[in-house]
Amino acid sequence: MTAIPMSSAARRPLMPVLAALSLAHLLNDLVQSMIPALYPLIKKAYDLDFVQIGLITLAFQVTSSLLQPLLGYVTDRRPWPYAMVAGMCATLSGLLLLSFAHNYGTVLLAAGLVGLGSAVFHPEATRMARHAAAGRQGLAQGVFQVGGHVGYAIGPLLAAMVVVPRGQESLSWFSGVVLLAMLVMGWLGARYSALRRDQKAAKDHVEEVANHGLPRGRVLLAMAILVVLLISKNGYTAAFTSYYTFYLIERFGIDLQLSQIMLFLYLVVGAIGVIVGGMVGDRIGRDRVIWLSILGSLPFALMLPYADLFWTAVLSIIVSFIMASAFSAILIYAIDLVPHRVGLVGGLFYGLSFGLGGVAAAGIGALADWIGIIAVFKLCAWLPALGLLTFLLPKSTR
């Protein structure tokens, strides 16, 4: 099979930039993760069914997924680093609107505004991370994405500690998180603009071009397979992020706060898995990481719906760690196929990640209303089996 070569590092990665990107990702995704964490509270306040809960996820994730590829395409031609600050203004508006929402329609609008902020953030941040990687793409994406995973893990825990006891209005207290994110993104915009100016002055900037030698049809096939792999990963992940608390409460009869803590454990372990997977991918190739991360989680996922409470927690942590590395490997693999379209690919795959997660959440909600949440988790356990398609991908060299 044709190999996709990976460039070696000529310089050291710009760790201050990567660290700031990771912090910005943490703050951005922390706000996003507050929405699913509040589902039990919102469900009770507005007397919603599981389909309506899934539509909230669909609102903020599809808003993001529809705009991210378009924004990525535009910024490939004309990068706009300060766009991230503008995007966080939409997030701030959505957060405040959700805090004081009095009907279901306002909740949907607020969720869409939060999704708009992510649509602006991810394509430009992906380009910055690749620019700062100096050839260590797995490490750079791992550092960048670990912030998102940590933020997504902290959000439910903060919701359980602050918002659930004090009510929906206390969500407005987290406006400070958004303002801090805007400051970090402003610094990143200035730093990135200065780096681009220095590179142009030194004539050190070389536009990346694909050197894998694959025909166009083969590239399109590989992209299609990567999309299917994302479907398998995000479908399974959506079951956990949106419905894991409901599953635990119904299956084991635990209270809401304990279920949120277990969701936090599932999410925070994923933060460790994503950076480990990125570093391993730099050494052994992206296709091997994709194979191990998606298909390797299958046996543990199949056991989870039949385990007791203790082993449910253990197995969910194992599945989270193994599967978390898949996204960074899939994203870098896709960018290596078309390296001159970093923003477009970043926007497309982050957009697909959000959009597919939203569609899956809505579908899982409808299925849960029909057959029950416990039966849904038994069916979703088979989704990682789609990882078998990885063998059709062109092999990537170290």
- What spatial distance separates the first Cα and last Cα of the chain, rounded to whole Å? 15
Average pLDDT for residues 323-352, to the nearest whole number?
A: 77
- What's residue 345's pLDDT? 78
Compute the average pLDDT of residues 300-313: 93
- Supply the pLDDT for residue 308: 92
Quick check: 166 pLDDT over 50?
yes
15-392 folds as Growth Hormone; Chain: A; (1.20.1250)
The residue behind tokens 């310089």 is 11
pLDDT-derived band at 180 (thresholds 50, 70, 90) equals: very high
| Residue from 111, 96, 115 nearest 171 by CA | 96
Q: Which two tokens stand for residue 311?
A: 């082993």
Placement of tokens 């909600």 in the chain: 365
Domain spans of the chain?
Answer: 15-392
pLDDT at 114 > cutoff 60: yes
Residue type, 6: M
Which pLDDT band, with edges at 50, 70 and 90, does 189 fall under?
A: confident
Phi, then psi, of 254 in degrees rounded to 5 = -80, 170
Confidence class for position 8, pLDDT limits 50, 70, 90: very low
pLDDT at residue 1, as a whole number: 41
pLDDT-derived band of residue 3, with 50, 70 and 90 as boundaries? very low
116-147 pLDDT tens trace = 888 888 888 887 887 777 767 777 877 888 88
Can you give the pLDDT at residue 208?
52
Averaging pLDDT over each range in 8-12, 284-288, 310-314, 369-373, which range is the top one? Answer: 310-314
Where in 86-173 does DSSP place strands (E)?
none
pLDDT digits (tens, 9 = 90+) for 200-253: 665 544 455 555 567 778 888 888 888 888 878 878 887 887 788 889 999 998
* 289 pLDDT more than 50: yes
**Nearest 10 degrees: CA dihedral of 31, 66, 332, 195?**
-70
Question: What band does 11 get if pLDDT is binned at 50, 70 and 90?
Answer: low
Mean pLDDT of 375-383: 90
Q: What is the pLDDT of residue 312?
A: 93
**Mean pLDDT, the chain, as a whole number?**
80
pLDDT at site 255: 85
The confidence score (pLDDT) of residue 360 equals: 75
Identify the pLDDT of residue 138.
Answer: 74
In this model, does residue 69 exceed pLDDT 60?
yes
